[in-house]
Amino acid sequence: MMSDRSHSSSDTASIGRMLPPSFVVGTATASAQIEGATRAGRRTASVWDRFSAEPGRIQDGTTTAVTADHYHRYREDVALMAELGADAYRFSLGWTRLQPEGRGPLDPGGVAFYDRLLDELHEAGISPFVTLTHWDLPAEYEQGWLDRDTAARLGELAALVGERFADRVDHWITLNEPATVTLNGYALGLHAPGRELTFDALPAVHHQLLGHGLAVQALRAAGADSVGITNVHSPVQPAGDGEEDALMAALFDIVHNRVFADPVLLGHYPEVPSELEELFGAFAGVPQEDLATIAQPLDFYGLNYYMPTKVAAGAGTGHSPDGTSEAMAGLPFRLEPFEEYPTTGFGWPIAPEYFGAALSEMQQRYGDVLPPVYITENGASFAEQPDESGRVQDTDRIDYLAGHLSTALAAVAPGGEAEGIDLRGYFVWSLMDNWEWAAGFTQRFGIVHVDFETGSRTPKASFQWLHDVMRARRMA
């Protein structure tokens, strides 16, 4: 049964009326966070399996072994999506479930699992949006994205899964958040594979983007109709009025936003202030043919938004939104809090107006070359638990989703600050509570509560709220 509605019908009705009839509303997950079944079939270790097994890496000491057990409970989860009335479901493929050695033919057991999942989605009338790799990488790739060969391996995986699934997948996403992979995984050591290279991590940027371009080519050759990429964008502002703060804010904007979007959409890496040029030497000798591969025409651009960033010059304590890093403490800038905003369970500022700013920046920077946009992730973690009656009244999440969705829709409407962007959909992160990377089970993003001891699912009040929003759209 759905949870009781905890927001007024006027909220759902007003937001529902803002949704264009063809606007896609769905939920999103990632394979490493929900599937579990690490020993099912021939699945071998991923970088996250190995990382989570290292003492001290995961906040609560948990691993990828079971997570939300979606591998065994996928039918139940698709039934929940159908109950929700979702138009689409964004999920990712487990690379080592499909290609256990990180190369070679697809494993029949892995193929069979995703065949069954796609069958369930199609039977329920839910459109599949499939991400090739969501922070997932075979552990056998010792250098990971620091190795150019990994880009070729992603292209090969794309060719294989495209040939197998292209006729049943409506939209493909090559990579999820290459910015987070680079910054947390290779620069700061907070995520798998745990490297702390700071600016020496920049080759991971280029190799991910090259892999994206090769994957686009392979998917199109296999008959894929719609292909894009997803990155997380954060509007950046200096903490003070001084030149040094402004320069460091520009630096963060470049490494978080522009080194990923500019090559994909404009065909070149961004120009940087002369004072910062030596930091970006990794891009100095990039072959032109690489840039041409990276800048493949896209059918859509996936934008994830969670929060803005405030930057000050000078070293700090090493704090980042995802934890504390010794490498972060050695950088020439620090991240400052937004004291004026409430925060999520992760301590992230809840600032929906910056969602409009993120969309506006995309419009201003990329204009006519920006393809249609999907918000491929937006959501918040809160530490709610079922009450005595078993209901999960997550009113903070409802407020978060209502504020962000309505802000995005208003921003792209006529007269809005991002007018001109063709915004086609919005995916809530996440369908269910999951294994939240280095935070383990300590953070809950789902609109469905998961009991991590029993695996039982309980739709939260936000589930009912989103259902009512979509119902209001259909009635408008």
Q: Which residues are annotated as a binding site?
A: 33, 134, 176, 306, 429, 436-437
Contact by Cβ (8 Å): 370, 433? no
CA–CA separation, 231 and 278 (whole Å):
25
CA–CA separation, 247 and 304 (whole Å):
25
Q: Which residue is associated with the tokens 């989605």?
A: 121
The sign of the dihedral angle between the CA atoms of 381, 387, 390, 392 is negative
Known active-site residue 278: no
Cis link prior to 21 (omega < 30° from 0)? no
Helices (H), 9-86: 9-18, 31-34, 47-52, 70-84
Catalytic residue, candidates 35, 377, 384, 417: 377
Beta bridge partners of residue 92, listed in sequence order? 131
Return the structure tokens found at 322: 């995802």
Annotated binding site for substrate: 33, 134, 176, 306, 429, 436-437
Contact by Cβ (8 Å): 306, 445? no
Max Cα separation, the chain?
62
Known active-site residue 156: no
Contact by Cβ (8 Å): 347, 321? yes
Contact by Cβ (8 Å): 412, 19? no
Q: Which residue is associated with the tokens 């939300």?
A: 68
Amino acid sitting at position 58: I
CA–CA separation, 393 and 385 (whole Å):
8
- Angle CA 50–105–119, to nearest 5: 90
Catalytic residue, candidates 35, 120, 177, 417: 177
Q: Which residues are catalytic?
A: 177, 377
